[in-house]
Amino acid sequence: MASTAETDVMMAADGVPLKIKLRRAERMRKIWALGLIAPLFIFIVGGFIVPIISLMTLSVEDPELNEALPRTAEIFSQWDGEGYPSEEAMLVFAEELSTADRGEFGRVSKRLNYDISGFKSMLKATARASDELTLLPADQILQGFIDIDDDWEDQAYWRAIKGASSAYSDYYMLWAVDLKRDGETGEIISVDEGRAVYVEVLIRTIEISFAVTILCFLMGLPIAYLLATLPTAKSNLLLILVLLPFWTSLLVRTTSWLVLLQNEGLVNDLGIWIGLWNEPLELVRNRLGVYIAMTHILLPFMVLPMFSVMKSINPWHMRAAASLGAPGWKAFLKVYMPQCMPGVGAGTLLVFILSLGYYITPALVGGPDDQMISYWIVQNMGRNANWGLGAALSLILLVLTMVMFFIYNRFVGIDNLKVN
């Protein structure tokens, strides 16, 4: 039997079956191919996916109390939130306060201070006296707390501790949409008026992005049409003019607008000199400035996809429409525009999505009420060191972008997208 098997199988020169030899060679090639894309793959996973996911998880974590005062977190999470927590729970709290690491304690008091301002200093005073608290008999412990600070009589403070006791919570996600859980009932309610800002910021972000997209479209359409219909030599020159700002640093372009538009800037000086207006107009550090600068910066992203699509439209179609009796505007709308749609779709989507995440331009040329969601992400991530809220806002921005993408895909179709 062995001899027949050997004769059935084709052999390579070195006596290894050809099939196996081929498979090996195939495998080597695959490993090669994988090896070539490995750097990119590792870069995307390590530099993009992992950080984003780990950042996003911050938005649903609430770890401070659990890490610093684990037994307190455990026992408070079992309390139903009615009246005061049990004396045992208070005792555990006092004991852990007296032994807490100062650094971790600092983070807990910061977290609880988000709920009720003034909690921080109250907790600090309590921690200082916590050694004596632990010596009190169980029935006097609440009084012991109250003796340190009257506010411990207010159940809201105890409930705030319970509210921070679980390692995962919707605390920051709710905060990012101006909501919170009512301490007593656990129902979701609006935050105080003085703290409500993020819904407005979200609406403002969409509003600015929408307006910039429309402006870019209105200004970009004629430019793209002109580029597509001019002879190549002229259109190439114009194309360079469109691309030139594209190659200049975003920061430089934004700052230039600031120089041009400010009170004693070029535009105002010129306008007053010619006599168009007498007092400097407020062109910058307001919404107008944001629209001007963002439209200018994002215009190439609108023009280029439209241009590349228009370029491919056969000019005979328009002539055919004309010869069939359509007036110019009708031929443009009915024949030309539908063929442009992939370019228009790509341009608007690109501009809209880029606008959503804009930070530096509104920060430089906008006023305080023109700041978009990215500004508040930076504020919370950096200055306030409130990573939970920053992550929650980032998640909202990411979801918003994905929703826009989904809507676009639904109505225009991602297959029709033509960027170049």
Q: Which residues bind another protein (CB under 8 A)?
A: 102-103, 105-106, 110, 113-114, 117-118, 120-121, 124, 194-197, 200-201, 262-264, 285, 367-369, 371, 379, 383-384
Q: Which is nearer to another protein, 130 or 348 (CB)?
A: 130
Q: Which is nearer to another protein, 219 or 288 (CB)?
A: 288
Shortest CB 115 distance to another protein, Å: 11
Residue count of the chain: 420
As a whole number of angstroms, the distance between CA 104 and CA 68 comes to 5
Partners of 188 in the beta sheet?
Answer: 181
Shortest CB 368 distance to another protein, Å: 4
Q: Which is nearer to another protein, 103 or 325 (CB)?
A: 103
Shortest CB 157 distance to another protein, Å: 15
Are the CB atoms for 221 and 228 separated by under 8 Å?
no
3-state secondary structure 131-175: HHHHHCCHHHHHHHHHHHCHHHHCHHHHHHHHHCCCCECCHHHHH
Shortest CB 369 distance to another protein, Å: 5
Q: Which is nearer to another protein, 39 or 368 (CB)?
A: 368
What's the chain's Rg over C-alpha atoms? 32
Shortest CB 93 distance to another protein, Å: 20
Return the structure tokens found at 386.
């409130």
Q: Which is nearer to another protein, 141 or 389 (CB)?
A: 389
Q: Return phi, psi of residue 11, to 5°.
A: -110, 145
Return the structure tokens found at 157.
């403070």
Shortest CB 113 distance to another protein, Å: 6
Residue 105 identity: F
Q: Which is nearer to another protein, 121 or 140 (CB)?
A: 121
Instruction: For residue 355, give every residue at least 6 positions away whose Cβ sits within 8 Å of its Cβ, in sequence order, or none.
Output: 208, 209, 212, 213, 294, 298
As a whole number of angstroms, the distance between CA 322 and CA 284 comes to 46
